[in-house]
Structure 1
Amino acid sequence: MSQLIVHVGDFTFQARFEERLAPKTCAAFRKAMPFESQAVHVRWSGEGVWMPLGDRDFGIGYENHTSYPAPGHIILYPGGISETEILLAYSGVHFASRMGQLAGNHFITLTSNLESLPEMGKTVLWKGAQKVRFEEV
């Protein structure tokens, strides 16, 4: 069985797909893996980092969606009133954009190194964009 790994800058986290709760989102994202992007600190949502993806279309709608991801939860906003994006909460988040409150599909949960989440978030905040890579090994 493969292991999902999420790298954000110098930080590495083991993770799991939320297959039962967000099967379509997981399947669409798996097709794009290994997935690479850059994380920047959120503007409106609180303590999280996000990967802006413009008009990228994963071909999915809402499933297992939330506006309040917990620390270590990764959500995918499939686009609509704002651009497509992935958000990783490292502390308190109320997912929003300049258009107002949004909801994204919770499809990945980090399972290791959670104690490093605040340091990761502050690194992105104070040192700028960090490379992100999602891979199954």
Structure 2
Amino acid sequence: MADIRITVGDLVFLAVLEHERAPETCRYFLSLLPYKTQFVHVRWSGEGCWVPLGEASVPFTFENATSYPAPGQMIFYPGGYSETEILLAYGAVCFASKLGQLAGNHFLTIVEGLEQLPALGKRALWHGAQDVLIESFA
């Protein structure tokens, strides 16, 4: 059952947190909600949107990390070799930065609205940063 709503303009996605696979990442992310930010099209990784967090320090390390999130999977990179960031795959992704391939914690999976992901990617690519609201409704 979905417990997270992601709203980007008229696009609404419902998602589940991956509590068993990434408990510390989920706990931290929940503490941020409701979270207002912007999705920016990724620079290096392929078909994804990201939220750059710069040098932000987070209270978790790697858990359930992947370089290849599937469409609808969100990963959280806790920093280290590159800046701290969140990435949502809308298509094929190989998570990377100018320093090379990275891995982020898969902590959230979209379960409703997957068919809208290409529209989100197209908007971010052709129209720039997209306002996002991520909230819990559990």
TM over 0.5: yes
Output the CA distance in 2 between the equivalents of 1:10 and 1:17.
Answer: 22
2:112 corresponds to: 112
Contact residue 2 and residue 15 of structure 2 kept, 8 A: no
User: Is structure 2 residue 49 aligned with structure 1 residue 52?
Assistant: no
> How much does 1:9 deviate?
3.4
Query: Quick one: distance in 1 between partners of 2:84 and 2:70?
Result: 20
Q: Secondary structure at the match of 2:39?
A: strand
Quick one: distance in 1 between partners of 2:73 and 2:111?
Answer: 10
8 Å contact kept, 1:22–1:106: yes
1:62 aligned residue = 62
Q: Is the 8 A contact 1:29 1:58 kept in 2?
A: no
1:115-135 deviation digits (Å, cap 9, x = unpaired): 111111011100100011210
The Cα of 1:26 is off from its aligned counterpart by 0.2
Deviation at residue 32 of structure 1 after TM alignment:
1.2
Partner of 2:84: 84
Change over 3 Å in CA distance of 1:2–1:75 after alignment to 2:
closer
TM-score normalised to the size of structure 2? 0.95
Cα RMSD of the aligned pairs, angstroms, is 1.3
Aligned residues with identical type, % of pairs: 55
SS at match of 2:43: coil
Closer, same or farther: CA 2–64 of 1 in aligned 2, 3 Å: closer
- Measured in 2, the distance between the counterparts of 1:109 and 1:48 equals 14
- Unaligned 5+ segments in structure 2 are none
Distance 2:104 2:78 in 1: 7
Q: Deviation of residue 2 (structure 1)?
A: 7.8
1:4-83 map, 5 Å: 4-83=4-83
How many matched pairs?
Answer: 137
Length-normalised TM-score, structure 1: 0.96
| 2:102 aligned with 1:102 | yes
Q: SS of the residue aligned with 1:63?
A: coil
Where 2:112 maps in the other structure, the secondary structure is: coil
Partner of 1:125: 125
